[in-house]
Amino acid sequence: MDAEAFAQLIRNRAARYDKGGEEHFNIISALHKSLRNSDVQAAMYWLGRMLEGGEDPLYIARRLVRFASEDIGLADPHALTQALAARDAVHFIGLPEGALALSQAVVYMALAPKSNALYKGYKQVQKEVGRGHNPPVPLHIRNAPTALMKDLGYGKGYAYAHDHAAGITEMTCLPDSLQGRVFYEPGGRGFESELKRRMQRIDNWLREKRKKSARPKGDGE
């Protein structure tokens, strides 16, 4: 075997992609981390390595769907739409044409603002539920389809938000033991900066309403 033939053998081995072996997990990890780091060139390359190596495009699409929610979330809600559209395109037209749909999603997500706030928030919910202390649903937000349930107080005190000018009410929806708990905290990137402003406006409105409700009758009049 001459030097050129040996070099070609090495190149072929390097390009080989074992869908069930270590390289499979190494390359999907490389794709995921390149996307997270907003390295669009690397993300395109690792996508190509997987596709040209024979990886199931629907497997890649599933990973992109997960990435869209885990690493982008509400910083760019359209990322999930892009991932699902790529999955549908691959399912509809297959390869090789579907590679472009996956490439489109990869480029979009690599350049999208990143946030793991949803991921961290749901982890906190899982931790809370996993403690095993799961308080009952407050009576005022329980469903009351029967007269007996209404007699038991189900739904009593429920405030219909659409009937109020602000579109929200002072009603609390968490169990008493969880009042004040924060699970989702939006970051400052992308659309989450707008969500943070909305949450602050809601919190400020509630604070003012509850302050007025706690004020003694006739105070300030």
Give me the pLDDT at residue 43, please. Answer: 98
Question: Within its chain, how far is the Cα of 50 from the centroid?
Answer: 25
Write down the domain spans for the chain. Answer: 3-111, 117-214
**3-111 CATH, one of 3.10.450.50, 1.20.272.10, 1.10.287.610, 3.40.50.620:** 1.20.272.10
Nearby residues of 215 by Cβ (< 8 Å), 6 or more positions away = none
Give me the pLDDT at residue 129, please. Answer: 96
Give me the pLDDT at residue 12, please. Answer: 58
Taking the C-alpha atoms of residue 115 and residue 119, their distance in angstroms, rounded to an integer, is 9
Residue 186: cis peptide before it, omega within 30 degrees of 0: no
pTM of the model: 0.82
pLDDT in tens, the chain (221 residues): 565 654 555 455 555 566 667 888 999 999 999 999 999 999 999 999 999 999 999 999 999 999 999 999 999 999 999 999 999 999 999 999 999 999 999 999 999 999 999 999 999 999 999 999 899 999 999 999 999 899 889 999 999 999 998 899 999 999 999 999 999 999 999 999 999 999 999 999 998 888 887 777 665 54
Taking the C-alpha atoms of residue 80 and residue 66, their distance in angstroms, rounded to an integer, is 8
Give me the pLDDT at residue 212, please. Answer: 82
Q: Which CATH number does 117-214 carry?
A: 1.10.3710.10
Helices (H), the chain: 3-15, 22-36, 40-52, 57-67, 78-93, 98-111, 117-130, 147-151, 192-214
